[in-house]
Amino acid sequence: MILPIYLYGQPVLRKEAEEIEPTPELKQLIADMFETLTAAEGCGLAAPQIGKPWRLFVVDGSELGEDYPECKDFKRVFINPELIEESEQTCTYSEGCLSLPGISENVVRPETIVLRFLDENFEEHEETFTGFQARIVQHEYDHLEGHVFTDRISPIRKTFVRNKLASIAKGKTGARYKYRRN
Ligand code: NI
């Protein structure tokens, strides 16, 4: 089932998400999140973006395979992730977000990270991500902390996107996919 994506201005996007435990409904929710992500042609979706304040996100980099070969088969589920290490080396990529339609901005982040997390079977992994994989993971991880990528752009760029953000929050800007707004 395709779920509505919560847009900027919805309070759930600003909450610190809570750890989750296995429940019978979780498998279906994860399947729905992947379906929602594919329908919206995105590469990552965090539970707060569908209105659930939970530490869960899914990624699917298959759309990005041409530009970022490391993402071609990058389809994963992350539950209760913990950021263990971040490299001092940073890199800059242009980011967008399904909750912030029509906005894309350069964001500087660590190039490599180490993440501890559970997969969809609640098996623990500790894994190093780099390049655009690390980028997607950090962007989604931010959602679990109540952050969006425009929190991380330069002050001057923030003034440029302020009106666009306000327009989304006021319900004047929508998205081409199923969404929910104030
Ligand atoms: Ni996002």
Enumerate the domain spans of the chain: 5-180
Q: Lowest mean pLDDT: which of 45-59, 63-77, 118-132?
A: 63-77
Closest residue by Cα to residue 118 from 58, 74, 70: 58
Cα separation of 112 and 99, whole Å? 25
Residues 28-32, mean pLDDT to the nearest whole number: 98
Residue 181, pLDDT > 80, answer no
What topology is assigned to 5-180 in CATH?
Answer: Peptide Deformylase (3.90.45)
The answer to whether 109 and 135 have CB atoms below 8 angstroms apart is yes
| pTM of the predicted structure, to 2 decimals | 0.97
Neighbours of 167 (CB within 10 A): 15
Report the separation in Å between the CA atom of 131 and the middle of ligand 1, taken as the mean of its atom positions. Answer: 17
When pLDDT is cut at 50, 70 and 90, the band that residue 182 belongs to is low
Burial of 91 (0-12, 13-18, 19+ CB in 10 A): middle
Q: Which of 16-20, 63-67, 142-146 has the lowest mean pLDDT?
A: 63-67
Q: How far is the CA of 123 from the centre of ligand 1 (A)?
A: 25
Could you list the active site residues? 140
C-alpha 88 – ligand 1 centre gap (Å): 23
Q: Residue 155's pLDDT band (boundaries 50, 70, 90)?
A: very high
